[in-house]
Amino acid sequence: MKKKLFVIASALMLLGFVSLNVFSQKKPVVIEFERLSSYVNDWDKRRDGEHLIVNVAATIDSIQYQKSNNLYSFQAGENTDVGSTFFSSPILGKSLRQRLSQHSEASVYVYCTLVQFVGEQDVFRAPFVTKVEGFDGHGRLVWTVVGPPPAKLKMSQ
């Protein structure tokens, strides 16, 4: 009897702990690409590690490898502001480059985490991409590219 009671009590505690952790997580902020730069650059209101989902209707251009940081960077449309430059792991960058060369999607959703880049003279935040979903003109999901989360929330330039 005591063993049954102990097992039931343990299960209830575990269930309570798991549900508490699930409900304490914040939902990612969904934002349009046109507002991304001003959102990221609002320094006092943003935190490293904040999760975003960015709706990008523009074409993703110029995926470049940055050897100094071992990261890929890419931009969408003509906005070259650092707040709207995406960074990713080499795994995601290579996969994304391959997908974009094969398909031309109407829009993509970019899932990212805000990270901070620290240099000798400046500090800035930028979105670090962990997932990209490509949608066709009818709103159907065509492909998904996934990469690892950032290893650190503060990186050197």
pLDDT band of 77, cuts 50, 70, 90: confident
Higher pLDDT, 138 or 81: 138
pLDDT in tens, 112-134: 999 999 988 888 899 999 999 99
Q: Is the pTM of this model over 0.95?
A: no
Q: Where in the chain does DSSP place strands (E)?
A: 29-32, 51-56, 60-66, 71-76, 86-88, 107-118, 123-135, 141-146, 154-156
The CATH number corresponding to 27-156 among 2.40.70.10, 3.40.50.300, 3.10.25.10, 2.40.50.140 equals: 2.40.50.140
Distance of alpha carbon 54 from alpha carbon 35, whole angstroms:
9
